[in-house]
Amino acid sequence: MLELNIFIILSFSFLLTLILGRFLEKLKVPWVFAALIIGILFSLNTKIKNIILSPSFELFGQLGMYFLLFIVGFELDLNELIKKTKYVIQTSFFIILFEALFSSLLIHYLFGCDWILSSIVALSFATVGEAVVVPILDELGIINTNFGQLLIGIGTIDDIIEVFVLTCVVVLVGSGTYKSTTIFSIITVLLILFALCYGLTRLGKESKKFKFRKIELLILLSLSILFVFVGVGKLIDADALASLLAGISIRTFVPKERLKKIEKEVKTICYGLFAPIFFLWAGVTTQVHYIISNPLIVIGITSFCCLLKIIASLLSTSKILGIKKSILLGLGLSIRFSTSIVVLKILLENKLIGNDLYSILMATTVVFKLFTPTILSRELERIYKSKKCVRYTS
């Protein structure tokens, strides 16, 4: 009998992604989400699930996330983003804190957690899994629209907030794994990341002195810079933020005449290998049984959290985006991934929250991961493509 291993699973996963992806494209959904659906189906098989959740496979999944966020940073129009910095920061804090405030009330009164714990859980769960939304923005070419810049900008601010939430959790539980992590070290690493980014942007004019005749050497330099950023960010679990900053740095450092060439090559690496593995891995981490155990409560809390994001988005962005796009922004910001799940696991392992709260919150993650990308991609495709305004800034 054929013994399952990582390579056989990868082979079948890529083949199934190719087949299912063609069908999804007809529904106006990026083909790469086929890997997410396949991963969710694979999660029902314990043997396959254990192989995909192995450290070796997880590394490839994380690389997929890094490359997706690297592409976003690489494609961002930094000058336009800087002009909107104040508005993006204000909007980010308003939307995240708005949901965190009302979610903490729900957690406190429904699950009986104290106010501090309720606030930490709510704040961690108000965060954004922007890596899941990247393929939609990239395929529609709307990363540099007001919609795309706001979503990515909020996701960037959110990454910083996630780091501090994780620190609060570590202090609260006294976890030995993170005992060396202090507020000082977190601030230091964040400053190093931003200093690296700023330094490379300032070296943009000097980059012409680097005579890279072969594009392969320039890509090797780009990957080296990406992994330096990720390695530094990993020290405080800010690897997602680091990947984004690496992309921004490369865009300003590399000569303009070589940008398109590098972008094409990096996208080939990302979408041809790492992105499908990332979504497969993300799908396998989905715990479908959470939904089955408490469907009504899960639907209720999912609807409540999504409604909070949409209301906050409408209140803060409707004037610049319009009502329809503000609603879609709130929907896109509802997707959860990475650090929020880590926070919940730490709290559960230290018995600060019960299995009921953990299971229900994880179930809402499943629902958002399952349905939000499909709805978001179809509606954005309809709005932007129908108006032929993909390259505009509206």
User: What is the tens place of the pLDDT at every residue in 125-173?
Assistant: 777 777 788 888 888 888 888 898 888 888 888 877 777 777 777 666 6
Nearest to 268 by CA among 304, 216, 316, 233: 216
Joined tokens for residue 365: 């993650």
- Could you read off the pLDDT of 359-393 as tens digits, one per residue? 788 778 777 877 888 888 888 988 887 554 433 34
**C-alpha span between 49 and 379 (Å, rounded):** 32
d(CA 388, CA 382): 10
Share of the chain above pLDDT 90, in %: 17
Most confident of 40-44, 104-108, 198-202: 104-108
CA distance 95 to 142: 21
Q: In which element (H, E) is residue 247 found? A: helix 239-253
| Backbone torsion region of residue 112, taken as left when φ is above 0, otherwise alpha when ψ lies between -120 and 50, otherwise beta | left
Answer whether 251's CB lies under 8 Å from 77's CB: no
The residue assigned the tokens 């999660």 is 43
**192, 232 contact by CB (below 8 A):** yes
pTM of the model: 0.79
Q: Give the model's confidence band at 213: pLDDT under 50 very low, under 70 low, under 90 confident, else very high.
A: low
Which CA distances in Å does 152 have to 128, 168, 318?
10, 24, 17
CB 297 within 8 A of CB 367: no
pLDDT given for residue 390 in this prediction: 39
Higher pLDDT, 96 or 182: 96
Quote the CA–CA distance of 7 and 11 in Å, as a whole number.
Answer: 6
Q: Are 250 and 74 in contact (CB under 8 A)?
A: yes
**Under 8 Å between Cβ of 121 and 149:** no
Which residue type sits at 24? Answer: L
Judge contact between 115 and 88, C-beta under 8 A.
no
DSSP type of residue 254: S
- What are the structural domains of the chain? 62-386 (1.20.1530.20)
Check residue 322 and give left, alpha or beta (phi > 0: left; psi -120 to 50: alpha). Answer: left
For 87, the token pair is 């508005």
Whether the pLDDT of residue 328 is over 90: the answer is yes
